[in-house]
Structures are given as structure tokens and as C-alpha cells.
Structure 1
Amino acid sequence: MRFLVRDRLLGIGDDYWIEDEHGDRVFLVDGKAMRLRDTFELKDTQGRVLVDIHQKMLTLRNTMVIERGGEPLARIKRKRLSLLRNHYRVSLVDDTELDVSGRILDREFAVEYDGELLAVISRRRLHVRETYGVDVVRDDADPALLIAVAVCVIHLAEQEREDE
């Protein structure tokens, strides 16, 4: 299933919809302004919070945390010993890990679990400006989690670019 995400998503305080490939609204991104840390909520069409995304404070390396129902679900940070600058690790609470690699700032990257492709994030083949697609490859994958991972990785990469 393909989801279309507007690049505005990275603006704290911005609210906007993520649509499916048919143009139907599926998720609302609610950016929380006026907070000490960068915070987003991913909501369903009824306004229920599916995941909460926030930046972890007081860490040596920038880290984003995804929570569901107030409980930690995943932690995302750039791989420490990666030769590729655009390589991130997603540590899930069940001790599994997802790898994210590619050209993050160009919105051309993939999310994998144990070498198996879960999602492809890409601007290719999209005619809508400042939009990228999140193609969830596996039927049993959690689309909200994969969209949240894409949001976090892009946010972290943008922060790194600003810090340089």
C-alpha cells in the first residue's frame, strides 16, 4: 500500500493529512508546537493517537522515540560505525531491529528487517511537488510504525544537516 506524505511534515506545529494511493485521508500528522522537544502525533481519521513521536532529550547522539499508548515502541538513531552517513537503526522494544538506509535527504531510502524489505520511501514517479511516497511492501507490516520511522529518520537527517 502506498501513502503520500507532504514534506511540510517536518515543520513543528504543522498539521496535515497523509493520504493513501486513492487520495483518501488515512493519517493526520499533528505537530506539537511550543514544546521543549520536537513532538509529533500520528492520528487516525477519528482523531485517535496511533503513535507519539518525540525527540529524546539529553543524549549524546540525536535520538527519536516512538511510543504507542504511552509505552515505548521504538528508538531511532544514526548507526554509530556506519561508513554511510545515511544509515539509521530502529531498535524495537521486542529486541528486533530495523535498518534504514539510502539517500534520506533526497527521500530515497528503504526500511528492512533482517534483510527483508518492509517499505520503500521515494519521490520517484510522483507528480505532486514536495511529496514522497511510503510504499509498505509487506501486508503484515504496521503502516503507522513505518510512516513514523520515515518521519523520524528524515527529521534526524535534517537536524544533522543544520548542525553542520
Structure 2
Amino acid sequence: MRFLVRERLLGIGDDYWIEDDRGQKAFLVDGKAMRLRDTFELKDPQGRVLIDIRQKMLALRDTMVIERDGQPLARIRRKRLSLLRNHYRVALTDGTELDVSGKILDREFAIEYDGELLAVISRRYLRVRETYGVDVVREDADPALLIAVTVCVIQLADRERGGD
């Protein structure tokens, strides 16, 4: 299943739609401006909040937290020793860990679980500027969670680079 993300250049506070491979609106990323920390909501086309995404305050390293229905779902932070490529660890509350690695700022990276590919994020085959694809490889994967992870690691990488 493929999704297309058309990023806004202005950053936090902007809302943008994520479309499926048929061009239908699948998810809305609703950036909440004027907050002390980065906050997003991932909504379905009817406006229901599926996932809340927020920056964790008072953390030693930049950390983003994903919640579903008010309950913690995952915590995302950069791995300590990742010299050549960006590596992020996604710790799910059930004890599962996902690995995100690649060129985050170039929008060329992958999300894996225990060495198995879950999603590929790429703008390689897209000609539209500031657009990238999220290809969910596994049929049983949660697309909303993988898109939320994608939003988080891009936000963390942009903050690290000084893009906020």
C-alpha cells in the first residue's frame, strides 16, 4: 500500500493531507502551532483523531511520543551511535522495537522490525517537489502507526539539523 505525502515548507502548524495510491485523502497531519513543544494529530478523512504525536519535554535527547486513544503507543529517539546514516529506535509499549534507518533528511529510509522490512520512505520515483512516498510493505502492518513514525523521525532529524 502506497501513500503520498506532500510536505509543507513552513513546518509546524501546517496541516497537510496524505493520499493513498488512488489519490484519495487517507490521513490528515494536523500540526498544532503555538505550543511549547511540537504536537501533531493524525486524523482520518472524517476528522477523527487516530494518533497523537508530541515532543517529550524534559528528555536528555530529543524524543517524540505517539499515543492512541490517550494511551502511550511508542517512543522515538535517535540511536546514540549512528555515524554514517540516521538511525532511530521506536520502542513500542508492548516491548517491540522498530528500527528506522537511512537518509532521513533526503526522505530515503526504511522502517524495519527484527530485520524485516515494514515500510520504505522514498522520493526517488516522484517528480513533484516536496513529495515523498510511504510504501507499506506488509499487509498486516498498521499504516497509521508507520506514517506517525515517519512524521516523528523527519521532525526529529529536522530539529537536529536546526530546521525549526
| TM-score tier after normalising by the smaller chain length | over 0.9
1:147 maps to 147
Q: Tell me by how many angstroms 1:81 deviates.
A: 2.6
1:114 maps to 114
CA distance in 1, matches of 2:80, 2:13: 30
2:51 maps to 51
Q: Tell me by how many angstroms 1:9 deviates.
A: 7.6
1:82 maps to 82
2:156 maps to 156
Runs of 4 or more, structure 1, over 2 Å off, are: 81-85
CA distance in 2, matches of 1:82, 1:104: 13
Native 8 Å contact 2:65 2:75 kept in 1? yes
SS in 2 for 1:124: coil
Q: Tell me by how many angstroms 1:6 deviates.
A: 1.5
Native 8 Å contact 1:74 1:93 kept in 2? yes
TM-score by length of 1: 0.96
Code of the residue aligned with 1:29 in structure 2: it is V
CA distance in 2, matches of 1:84, 1:141: 28
Q: Tell me by how many angstroms 1:50 deviates.
A: 0.4
Kindly indicate whether residue 15 of structure 2 is the aligned counterpart of residue 15 of structure 1: yes
Native 8 Å contact 1:9 1:16 kept in 2? no
Identical-residue share of aligned pairs (%): 83
Q: Tell me by how many angstroms 1:13 deviates.
A: 1.1
Native 8 Å contact 1:75 1:90 kept in 2? yes
Code of the residue aligned with 2:22 in structure 1: it is H
CA distance in 2, matches of 1:14, 1:116: 33
1:132 maps to 132
Taking structure 1 as reference, are residues 85 and 59 closer, same or farther at Cα in structure 2, changes over 3 Å only?
Answer: farther
SS in 2 for 1:8: coil
Q: Tell me by how many angstroms 1:80 deviates.
A: 1.5
How many positions carry a matched residue from both structures?
A: 163
Code of the residue aligned with 2:138 in structure 1: it is R
TM-score by length of 2: 0.96
Q: Tell me by how many angstroms 1:129 deviates.
A: 1.3
